[in-house]
Amino acid sequence: MPVVTSTRDLNKLLIRSSSGGVALAARFLALPCSARALTGRRETNCLKERTEMNKLALLALVGAVGTASADLLITEVYAGITGEDGTEDWFEVTWTGAGTFDTGILFYDDESADPTVNAPLDSFVLNTGESAVFLQDGDAAAITTFLDIWGPVANVGIAAGGGGLSQNGDGIFLFDGNLPGANVIASVAFDGSFANSGATIVFDAAGNASSAMLGVDGAYESAMFFNDNIGGDDNMISLIGSPGVIPAPGAVALLGLGGLVAGRRRR
């Protein structure tokens, strides 16, 4: 197994893009500087390098990691809007594999991709094609607020900690543990082009982001909520999104197929 202790190593692995390399690259992103066996100037520059590397490598890494573990998908994100957000930041996961998946094994972080922030997800046992929504660092009252705005959504829970999501661009990493070197089970990234679009960000199986569109893939309009930055004359606004919407069986098959096709292209 190759050793990854520098950005140069990481770039080689990303170019090679084997699933083993991808797992190591994800692991490298999660390493604190002190664990990277760096010396001299590189050690001094590690924090700066890590920040820069995260910016440059996040999108490439996300695409590759998504291929490596394509059965659990991050399918939708709401990072907030200017002014009042209505709800906490949230993301939706969908299980597309066989059997069931327990979200309680997962730990969340934002683009800093650090499993040691120790932000566990609530446990929902998902059957194939089922989704769950996680509010970032909310509480029971935040879930009630979410349901008031989005209506009856199944499997709404909390990701207890980790970084908040910025509408100006961020990432979501889900790990299988809370120690350095935990594996990335799913991840997505998005840029600031979706900020204040009036819709959530939805992701296909390859991790490509787009704005939710009314009536497409179950997207609907939320209830109105207060926002005196970009709300209308009455300072009220609504959003388009599809939190918790379970795709039709055909759509699940397509999600799975998308992952397979993406995997083949990379070989």
Cβ atoms of 164 and 77 within 8 Å: the answer is no
Q: How far is the CB of 111 from Ca ion (least distance, A)?
A: 6
Sole window of 22-30, 103-111, 154-162, 250-258 interacting with Ca ion (rule: CB under 5 A): 103-111
Instruction: Between 37 and 213, name the residue whose CB sits nearer to Ca ion.
Output: 213
Cα–Cα dist 71/90, whole Å = 20
Helices H / strands E in the chain, number of each: 6, 15
Q: Three-state SS string across 52-114, please?
A: HHHHHHHHHHHHHHHHHCCCEEEEEEECCCCCCCCCCCEEEEEECCCCEEEHHHCEEECCCCC
Instruction: Between 44 and 82, name the residue whose CB sits nearer to Ca ion.
Output: 82
Residue 170 in contact with Ca ion, rule: CB under 5 A: yes
Residue 43 in contact with Ca ion, rule: CB under 5 A: no
Cα–Cα dist 254/267, whole Å = 20
Picking from 176, 160, 149, 29, the residue whose alpha carbon sits closest to that of residue 78 is 149
What backbone phi and psi angles, to 5 degrees, belong to 12?
-55, -45
Q: How far is CA 43 from CA 2, 28, 116, 117, in A?
A: 20, 15, 21, 22
Judged by CB under 5 A, the residue of 31, 77, 126, 245 near Ca ion is: 245
Q: How far is the CB of 109 from Ca ion (least distance, A)?
A: 9
Judged by CB under 5 A, the residue of 21, 66, 80, 157 near Ca ion is: 80
Sole window of 42-50, 170-178, 188-196, 230-238 interacting with Ca ion (rule: CB under 5 A): 170-178
Judged by CB under 5 A, the residue of 25, 31, 121, 165 near Ca ion is: 165
Q: How far is the CB of 167 from Ca ion (least distance, A)?
A: 6
Cβ atoms of 22 and 66 within 8 Å: the answer is no
Q: How far is the CB of 164 from Ca ion (least distance, A)?
A: 5
Instruction: Between 38 and 154, name the residue whose CB sits nearer to Ca ion.
Output: 154
Instruction: Between 63 and 80, name the residue whose CB sits nearer to Ca ion.
Output: 80
Judged by CB under 5 A, the residue of 71, 88, 89, 114 near Ca ion is: 89
Pattern 201-240, Ca ion, x by CB under 5 A: ----------------------------------------
Could you tell me the two tokens for 208?
Answer: 């490509």
Instruction: Between 79 and 160, name the residue whose CB sits nearer to Ca ion.
Output: 79
Residue 71 in contact with Ca ion, rule: CB under 5 A: no
CB closest to Ca ion, residue no: 80
DSSP state of 117: G
Q: For the chain, what is the largest distance between any 2 Cα atoms, rounded to a whole number of angstroms?
A: 60
Cβ atoms of 59 and 189 within 8 Å: the answer is yes
State the number of binding residues for Ca ion (CB under 5 A).
13
Interface residues toward Ca ion, by CB under 5 A: 76, 79-80, 85, 89, 92, 110, 163, 165-166, 170, 242, 245
